Structure 1
Amino acid sequence: MLITVSLLLVTTAMSAVMLLVLTSLADSRVAGIREWAQANGVAVLALLLFAARGLIPDLLSIELANALLLLTASLMLAGYRRYLGLPVPWRLLAGGAGAAFAGVVFFHYVHESLALRVVGMSAFHAAICFGIHASLPKVADGRLRYPNAFSRTAALLLGLGHSCRGAFYVFDTYEPTSLLEPAVANLAFFAIGTLAMPALSLGAVMLANARVLTETAYAAEHDHLTGAPSRRAFFDMAERELARARRHGNGLGLLLVDADHFKRINDTYGHGVGDEVLRDLVARAREEIRKIDYFARLGGEEFGVLLPDASFDTTRAVAERLRAALDQSAQGRTAAAGPAYTVSIGLAMLEKGEDFAALMRRADAALYAAKAGGRNRVEVAPRLTPEPAPRSGGARVIRLRS
């Protein structure tokens, strides 16, 4: 009996720790944390009542303790469903928990049988574990991969363990006299029941922590207004693509895109409308660039487009297509469509031995020339090395004085 009581107290301590950890994550607003924390709080009470068997009335150590354990399992499944954005089958949970609790009462007061009480409780907990396993996706990406796999595997193994526990007491002639009886079989299945909550809670904590880290990384790497990658993320990607371009000798193009007369839009219509213009610009731009291109907000109304594995002709074609798509001039626009806007674009191609800072300076000079040349146009930065005369038509090449 001392062994089982010790196991209960250790599990109680683990649930208390999980409660504190989950409570510390409450401000993260990750869905499911509230239910998981509540499940561990209820589990602490249930386990303490089980540990006090023989010291307190059976009504508390059997009926109330099992009722709290049923609530604990239901809240754990609800937490996983909330986390995954899935509906919680509260009616089904209530029906299953009600049936299991009725079995506890019946096999305590009407037909005394601890084994059959265990069977009913094991069936409910097995269903909960299998429900968690079925709810979690088979494959998760990024930081969620390992926590998802751990939780899914733990739920499956615990579900199988509870099923074996129930089957054992159904088909075996062994009839325990107490839940805390130190028999080998009773101890083995008792361990499965008591350790289920810490295992599932650990998976929940891992998932919540991974979600927090993922959201934090996304916030750090993306502009909160438009959802476009941030300046820092853009420069990180640029350094990787620059190294790759040098290693393989591939072309690398850079476009700097700036909304024309954006200050006038803010002053005339207000910053709220200006924000809508930026969001519209990003949405349209994403539809026009290639899938391998990297589009980011560099600050204010300025955006950058990195074009890996691109020739000059490809980069220029993307720039012209982008300018045309973002030519939201007043012609044919209704008031409901928002204020008219256009963009100017500076284009530069990476040259041998050039670093990204120099590439940016040339693209910025081309953007300045596009602004000075009348806006709503693409200007191409001059090459650092001599080149043949450009083809007639298309984008104009700037000839800056030395």
Structure 2
Amino acid sequence: MPTFDPRSFIITSAVAGILCSMIFFVLRRSFPREIGGIGEWGWGCVAMVGGAFLFAFRDTLSPLLTVVLANTLIVGGIVLMHVSLRRFTGLRAGYGWAAGLLLAVAAGLLWLTMVADNYRGRLEFITSINTLLFGLSAWFLFRMKKQGFAERFTGALFAVEALVSLGRFYFALAGQNSDDYWNDNSMVHMFYLASFSIALVGLSFGFMLMVTTRVQEKLEYAASHDDLSGAYTRATFFRMMAGEVLRARRQRRPLSLLLIDIDDFKRINDGHGHPVGDAVIRTFATVTAGELRAHDLLCRYGGEEFALLLPDTALDEATAVAERIRARFSEGVFDGLPSFTASLGVQSAEQGALEVAQMIEGADRALYIAKKLGKNRVEIAPEVGHASGRDGMAPNRPLAQ
């Protein structure tokens, strides 16, 4: 019966780790910097590759390198993967506790190798540490507020590897293995070594899915949101508004639209400069969004003008929302910004009775009236279809197409 050669699993782990680390270093250079943890994961793979190579030369190099340093590198690779997960979610990396843990691992291995020379003791020590680290990473992923397939998949792999390490710890503790590494041919030991090769590739694949999903979300957000204000873009807003109009008509629910214009915005730009004007736009969008429900839709309609769609909102409620927004800027003082006000036009449709163009037309007329009557006010749209607004004033701005 052929004997088990641990080198085959070691070499497999090393090759897989090299490929994974190369992929993550490439991703770190090409993906947005705000996506953290990519580099740490790559270095984690490098650490595990270094440990695997040192294991392969156990019969020729000093135990100080092939046992103490090799195992410390393996543990360091797992620690870096956990650090990577923390950075990916925006938390502090925690390099301090990571360095302290590695020092403790190295000290324990020094004692169990250079002083006691206890293979079984080393195995129990390392597998217990690995169990805790893999389990901690699984627990971290399963507790994430926003979980998708990638997070659940990666968390499950961490959990499986924690169970494998726990099983290896149990059998080592029970004494069901050889006291010599190279003669340890038990099925448990074979499965334990093989799992590291599979886990390194599987975990890296899972984290890669997490990263690419995050990049896709950022690209979708950038395509649908205005980069200055963070509100929806005009094209996205019209597409979503069309869906809300159909839903309101189908469910016979009210729907309201507000068009909002920051008063005298040109004066702000000319008198204080465009950077201040940009800050006013950002502040307006942020403060307004804070006054809204989760399903309300805020759009930067163009320049200093915004559109706000209020699903399931009748005219009286929409007017109250508009007045609250107007008062917020009329009475508010924002650090570093000149005072400014806003004018708002309101158009409501009972039971989804109006089309998108009709709602835009009505809100546009109401906003025109509010500007003509002195600004810093809320006006309700006159009856849709009339050619003139209040006091015979007709809108002279082009309507949205």
Residue 211 of structure 2 is aligned to residue 208 of structure 1: yes
Question: CA offsets per residue over residues 239-258 of structure 1, 9 Å max, x none?
Answer: 22111012112121111101
- Please report how far the alpha carbon of residue 126 of structure 1 lies from its aligned counterpart in structure 2 after TM superposition: 1.5
Q: Distance in 1 between matches of 2:353 and 2:97?
A: 67
Q: Distance in 2 between matches of 1:166 and 1:34?
A: 31
Question: CA offsets per residue over residues 213-237 of structure 1, 9 Å max, x none?
Answer: 2333333333332333332332232
Q: Distance in 2 between matches of 1:35 and 1:156?
A: 20
Change (3 A) 1:101 1:287: closer
Given that residues 22 and 33 in structure 1 are in contact (C-alpha distance below 8 angstroms), is that contact kept between their aligned partners in structure 2?
Answer: yes
The aligned runs of 1:338-353 (5 Å cut-off) are 338-350=337-349
Please name the residue that 1:364 is paired with.
364
Question: CA offsets per residue over residues 104-123 of structure 1, 9 Å max, x none?
Answer: 34444444332222222112
- Please report how far the alpha carbon of residue 13 of structure 1 lies from its aligned counterpart in structure 2 after TM superposition: 2.7
In the alignment, structure 2 segments of 5+ residues that lack a partner are: 396-401
- Please report how far the alpha carbon of residue 132 of structure 1 lies from its aligned counterpart in structure 2 after TM superposition: 1.6
Q: Distance in 1 between matches of 2:198 and 2:392?
A: 72
Please name the residue that 2:382 is paired with.
382
Please name the residue that 2:106 is paired with.
101
The aligned runs of 1:128-143 (5 Å cut-off) are 128-141=133-146
The correspondence for 2:273, drawn from 270, 273, 284, is 270
Question: CA offsets per residue over residues 274-324 of structure 1, 9 Å max, x none?
Answer: 122223322442344455432222221010110111222322332233323
The aligned runs of 1:1-400 (5 Å cut-off) are 4-26=6-28, 27-29=31-33, 30-54=35-59, 58-141=63-146, 144-179=147-182, 181-290=184-293, 292-327=295-330, 338-350=337-349, 354-384=354-384
Please name the residue that 2:398 is paired with.
none
- Please report how far the alpha carbon of residue 383 of structure 1 lies from its aligned counterpart in structure 2 after TM superposition: 2.6
Question: CA offsets per residue over residues 120-163 of structure 1, 9 Å max, x none?
Answer: 2112212211222333352532xx42222223332222222212
Shifted more, 1-10 versus 303-312: the winner is 1-10
- Please report how far the alpha carbon of residue 261 of structure 1 lies from its aligned counterpart in structure 2 after TM superposition: 1.4
Shifted more, 107-116 versus 38-47: the winner is 107-116
Change (3 A) 1:242 1:21: farther
Amino acid paired to 1:225:
L
Amino acid paired to 2:343:
S
Q: Distance in 1 between matches of 2:218 and 2:9?
A: 37
- Please report how far the alpha carbon of residue 48 of structure 1 lies from its aligned counterpart in structure 2 after TM superposition: 2.5
In structure 2, the residue corresponding to 1:379 is in which secondary structure? strand
Q: Distance in 1 between matches of 2:233 and 2:77?
A: 43
- Please report how far the alpha carbon of residue 337 of structure 1 lies from its aligned counterpart in structure 2 after TM superposition: 6.2
User: Would you say how many aligned residue pairs link Structure 1 and Structure 2?
Assistant: 387
- Please report how far the alpha carbon of residue 59 of structure 1 lies from its aligned counterpart in structure 2 after TM superposition: 4.7
Given that residues 168 and 188 in structure 2 are in contact (C-alpha distance below 8 angstroms), is that contact kept between their aligned partners in structure 1?
Answer: no
Q: Distance in 2 between matches of 1:284 and 1:63?
A: 57
Given that residues 254 and 349 in structure 2 are in contact (C-alpha distance below 8 angstroms), is that contact kept between their aligned partners in structure 1?
Answer: yes
Given that residues 4 and 180 in structure 1 are in contact (C-alpha distance below 8 angstroms), is that contact kept between their aligned partners in structure 2?
Answer: no
In the alignment, structure 1 segments of 5+ residues that lack a partner are: 387-394
Amino acid paired to 1:347:
V
In structure 2, the residue corresponding to 1:297 is in which secondary structure? strand
Q: Distance in 2 between matches of 1:227 and 1:243?
A: 26
In structure 2, the residue corresponding to 1:239 is in which secondary structure? helix
Given that residues 4 and 181 in structure 1 are in contact (C-alpha distance below 8 angstroms), is that contact kept between their aligned partners in structure 2?
Answer: no
Q: Distance in 1 between matches of 2:392 and 2:258?
A: 15
Amino acid paired to 2:215:
V
Change (3 A) 1:253 1:49: same
In structure 1, the residue corresponding to 2:338 is in which secondary structure? coil
- Please report how far the alpha carbon of residue 182 of structure 1 lies from its aligned counterpart in structure 2 after TM superposition: 4.1
In structure 1, the residue corresponding to 2:227 is in which secondary structure? coil
Amino acid paired to 1:319:
A
- Please report how far the alpha carbon of residue 41 of structure 1 lies from its aligned counterpart in structure 2 after TM superposition: 1.6
Given that residues 382 and 390 in structure 2 are in contact (C-alpha distance below 8 angstroms), is that contact kept between their aligned partners in structure 1?
Answer: no
Q: TM-score, normalised by structure 1?
A: 0.84
Shifted more, 283-292 versus 16-25: the winner is 283-292
- Please report how far the alpha carbon of residue 169 of structure 1 lies from its aligned counterpart in structure 2 after TM superposition: 1.1
Q: Distance in 2 between matches of 1:180 and 1:350?
A: 81
In structure 1, the residue corresponding to 2:301 is in which secondary structure? strand
Given that residues 84 and 136 in structure 1 are in contact (C-alpha distance below 8 angstroms), is that contact kept between their aligned partners in structure 2?
Answer: no
Given that residues 345 and 378 in structure 1 are in contact (C-alpha distance below 8 angstroms), is that contact kept between their aligned partners in structure 2?
Answer: yes
Amino acid paired to 2:317:
T
Amino acid paired to 1:224:
D
- Please report how far the alpha carbon of residue 57 of structure 1 lies from its aligned counterpart in structure 2 after TM superposition: 5.3
In structure 1, the residue corresponding to 2:102 is in which secondary structure? helix
What percentage of residue pairs aligned between the two structures are identical? 31
Question: CA offsets per residue over residues 317-376 of structure 1, 9 Å max, x none?
Answer: 3223332333259xxx79x66323222222223476643134223322332333233322
- Please report how far the alpha carbon of residue 38 of structure 1 lies from its aligned counterpart in structure 2 after TM superposition: 0.6
Given that residues 169 and 175 in structure 1 are in contact (C-alpha distance below 8 angstroms), is that contact kept between their aligned partners in structure 2?
Answer: no
Change (3 A) 1:188 1:358: same
